[in-house]
Homo-oligomer: A and B are copies of this chain.
Amino acid sequence: MSEFPKTTASKKAKLSDVARLANVSASTVSRVLNQPQIVRPEIRERVQNAIVMLDYSPDRMAKALSSGKSHTIGTVVPTIGGSAIFSDGVEALQDELETRGYSLLVSSSQYDLEREFQQIKTLLDYGAAGLVLVGDTFSSDALRLIKKFGIPTVTTYTNKSRHGIPAIGIDNRLAAQNLTRLLLSLGHKKFGIIANIALQNDRSQARVDGVRDALAEAGVPLPISNVVEVKLPTIENGRRGLAGLLELVAVPTAIVCTTDALALGVMSEARRRGLHIPDDMSVVGFDDIDVAAETDPALTTVKNPAAEIGRIAAEYLSRAMDGHTIPLETELPARLSVRSSTGVAPADRSSAEVSPLE
């Protein structure tokens, strides 16, 4: 055990110390700090020397309080850890914000809208000058709060703006459609879906809708029993999801997961059960996390450009805070990463070959 070092924290120099040392008023020091051009060169230099002498660095809290500009941005993501892409987005967001002189307050809501609301509230109380959220669905309390504070806010991982909040992301529904069309083109007719849509997850919901669109378009039925809903998009839930789908009388030959982590679980569980992917069954994920390309077989998925989303979010916020205009909906391309977890549908037991007519 050891008490925390109660070292002689030489008290921080403050603006008034600099003013005294440089023999100028506080106002002048403040000007040298914020608009140096305005002050006479010789005085400016005197102040700058004093700043160096005292190793002075302004208190951002005081500055924020008096100027009304906090230079801190807050973000609430569903989860920071695990095999999700949000951490990549947060990393890019922080990096870009840092470049622009902002700091980032981070919190994760665990996919819980009520918790998200509380966190937004906290961020706002802490004086966040801007907000980066995820998805297009928020609790009404959260929306009320955002409107009330009226600070620049953007939402991410969706291209749909609701409630006037600018959105940056891919078209989840369309991407899922394309992924499904790929599977259809490989002859698949029996689909299974594993989705984390329990807690009003609009991204996953859009993806499921996209799958349905494509299937409807092709006249392929999707029994309700073939859609497994899980709460969290974890590897473990992917395993469970597959276990559920394997109990169906007509086992799917194509499994669409709304997240890569779920797909990893599916592939892992399939292997354990002696099923071969893609010969026995094709699997697709969503997001294209970095390990998706390294599994065996490598996972077919859709690229969700988290880093770019984070970067753009920072850029937009910074622009909005400068009073500029930002796009309401920014749709990023969602490229398909077609790899080896998808293949031609296994021949149906009832018909030896897939008829070219179909």
- Is A237 part of the contact surface with B, judged by Cβ < 8 Å? no
Partner of A9, one of B122, B127, B150, B306: B150
- Is A83 part of the contact surface with B, judged by Cβ < 8 Å? yes
Is B9 a contact of A149 with CB atoms below 8 Å?
yes
Contact A235/B91 with A5-B164, A126-B61 known, Cβ cut-off 8 Å = no
Partner of A265, one of B152, B294, B296: B294
- Is A326 part of the contact surface with B, judged by Cβ < 8 Å? yes
A247-306, CB < 8 A from B: 261, 264-265, 267-268, 271, 289-291, 293-296, 306
Is B166 a contact of A4 with CB atoms below 8 Å?
yes
Point out the residues of chain B lying under 8 angstroms from A65, CB to CB. 59, 61-62, 65
Point out the residues of chain B lying under 8 angstroms from A106, CB to CB. 90, 94, 104-106
Partner of A61, one of B5, B70, B80, B105: B70
Point out the residues of chain B lying under 8 angstroms from A89, CB to CB. 81
- Is A103 part of the contact surface with B, judged by Cβ < 8 Å? yes
Is chain A's interface secondary structure helix, strand, loop, or mixed overall?
Answer: mixed
A96-136, CB < 8 A from B: 98, 103-108, 119, 121-127
Is B61 a contact of A235 with CB atoms below 8 Å?
no
A289 CA to B82 CA, complexed, in Å = 8
Point out the residues of chain B lying under 8 angstroms from A268, CB to CB. 293-294, 296
Is A103 a contact of B94 with CB atoms below 8 Å?
no
Is A147 a contact of B327 with CB atoms below 8 Å?
no
Q: Count the A residues whose beta carbon is within 8 Å of the partner chain — how many?
A: 80
- Is A6 part of the contact surface with B, judged by Cβ < 8 Å? yes
Contact A80/B70 with A61-B126, A107-B94 known, Cβ cut-off 8 Å = no
Smallest distance from the beta carbon of A56 to chain B beta carbons, Å? 11
Partner of A325, one of B2, B289, B291: B2
Contact A81/B87 with A12-B149, A291-B235, A291-B264 known, Cβ cut-off 8 Å = yes
- Is A3 part of the contact surface with B, judged by Cβ < 8 Å? yes
Partner of A296, one of B91, B107, B295: B295
Q: Mark A300-337, 1 if CB is under 8 A from B, else 0.
A: 00000011000000000000100001111000000000
Is A294 a contact of B307 with CB atoms below 8 Å?
no
Q: Mark A1-39, 1 if CB is under 8 A from B, else 0.
A: 111111111101000000000000000000000000000
Is A81 a contact of B88 with CB atoms below 8 Å?
yes
Partner of A91, one of B60, B81, B88, B320: B81
Is A307 a contact of B7 with CB atoms below 8 Å?
no
Partner of A126, one of B103, B123, B289, B306: B103
Contact A126/B294 with A4-B166, A65-B65 known, Cβ cut-off 8 Å = no
Point out the residues of chain B lying under 8 angstroms from A10, CB to CB. 148
Closest B residue to A310 using CB positions: B81
Point out the residues of chain B lying under 8 angstroms from A165, CB to CB. 5
8 A-B pairs, CB-CB below 8 angstroms? A2-B327, A5-B164, A57-B121, A59-B65, A81-B88, A98-B119, A103-B105, A235-B291
Residues of A within 8 A of B (CB): 1-10, 12, 55, 57-62, 64-65, 70, 72, 79-83, 87-92, 94-95, 98, 103-108, 119, 121-127, 147-152, 164-166, 235, 261, 264-265, 267-268, 271, 289-291, 293-296, 306-307, 320, 325-328
Instruction: Known pairs A98-B107, A267-B294, A268-B296; list 16 more (Cβ under 8 Å).
Output: A1-B325, A2-B326, A4-B320, A55-B148, A57-B121, A58-B125, A60-B127, A61-B61, A80-B88, A81-B91, A81-B306, A82-B87, A91-B108, A94-B108, A295-B295, A295-B296
